């Protein structure tokens, strides 16, 4: 389970984000952060593979590195201040719809959908939405979906192809370049939960119909 020790590690890392401190506390990281996070991901995988059998069922491969890529960033702090995992049929960096988990000192972020979308896939997704407007909107308007996630998120194009311009007033999401949802809950509340995996699975089950819909765009291009 993710515990108060997990939170405490990241609170200290936020104040001491440098290699010397991290090396000194590496054992703490391995035992109180990395191991329980992997265990939690392993606990949710059976439910995810039941919903989407092609998801890669390897918790360790789903993890993103704690080290930040600072090559092109003005922020040169070397470590992320949360653990992150992505589970999808193509792996954590796949273009296919996937489930996401991120846990830091302050918040648990849980969600899913599409974050990286190629030009070809985006065209297929927009065609899919255009041809199935009511079905798409009904997913986003489900009571549980709205209560847990609110609205579909993602960057949008300021201008889109003329063939979609009339549709944009009815379905603004047609202009999206990304199609994902994300909810957050305080980490201090999450650690009190005796069944953290079940809590997360509730969110993943709610986002799965969106995955089912979006996956059809990729089947069109395969």
CB 171 within 8 A of CB 136: yes
CATH 3.30.930 fits 4-221, yes or no: yes
Q: What is the pTM of this model?
A: 0.93
Beta-bridge mates of residue 67: 79
pLDDT category of residue 186 using cuts at 50, 70 and 90: very high
pLDDT at 221 over 80: no
pLDDT higher than threshold 80 for residue 182: yes
Q: 23-82 pLDDT, tens per residue?
A: 999 999 999 999 999 999 999 999 999 999 999 899 999 999 999 988 888 888 999 999
pLDDT in tens, 110-167: 999 999 899 999 999 999 999 999 999 999 999 999 999 999 999 999 888 888 888 8
- Structure confidence at residue 44 (pLDDT): 98
Positive/negative CA dihedral, 30, 33, 35, 37: negative
Predicted pLDDT of residue 222: 47
Q: Is the dihedral of CA 63, 65, 68, 72 positive or negative?
A: negative
Alpha carbon dihedral 134, 136, 138, 140, in 10-degree steps, equals -150
Which residues, 6 or more positions from 12, have their beta carbon under 8 angstroms from its beta carbon? Answer: 21, 25
Contact 181, 207 (CB under 8 A): yes
Domain layout of the chain by residue ranges: 4-221
């Amino acid at each position: 389970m993710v515990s108060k020790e997990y939170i405490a590690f990241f609170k200290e890392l936020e104040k001491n984000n440098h290699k010397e401190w991290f090396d000194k506390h590496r054992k703490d990281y391995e035992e109180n952060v990395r191991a329980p996070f992997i265990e939690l991901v392993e606990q949710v995988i059976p439910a995810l593979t039941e919903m989407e059998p092609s998801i890669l069922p390897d918790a360790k491969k789903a993890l993103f590195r704690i080290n930040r890529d600072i090559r092109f960033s003005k922020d040169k702090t070397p470590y992320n201040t949360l653990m992150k995992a992505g589970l999808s049929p193509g792996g954590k960096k796949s273009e296919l719809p996937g489930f996401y988990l991120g846990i830091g000192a302050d918040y648990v972020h849980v969600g899913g959908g599409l974050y990286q979308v190629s030009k070809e896939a985006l065209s297929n997704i927009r065609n899919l939405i255009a041809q199935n407007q009511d079905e798409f909107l009904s997913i986003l308007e489900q009571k549980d979906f709205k209560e847990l996630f609110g609205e579909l998120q993602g960057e949008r194009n300021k201008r889109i192809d003329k063939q979609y311009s009339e549709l944009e007033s009815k379905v603004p999401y047609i202009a999206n370049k990304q199609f994902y949802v994300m909810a957050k809950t305080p980490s201090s509340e999450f650690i009190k939960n005796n069944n953290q995996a079940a809590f997360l699975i509730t969110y993943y089950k709610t986002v799965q119909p969106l995955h089912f819909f979006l996956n059809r765009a990729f089947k069109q291009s395969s």
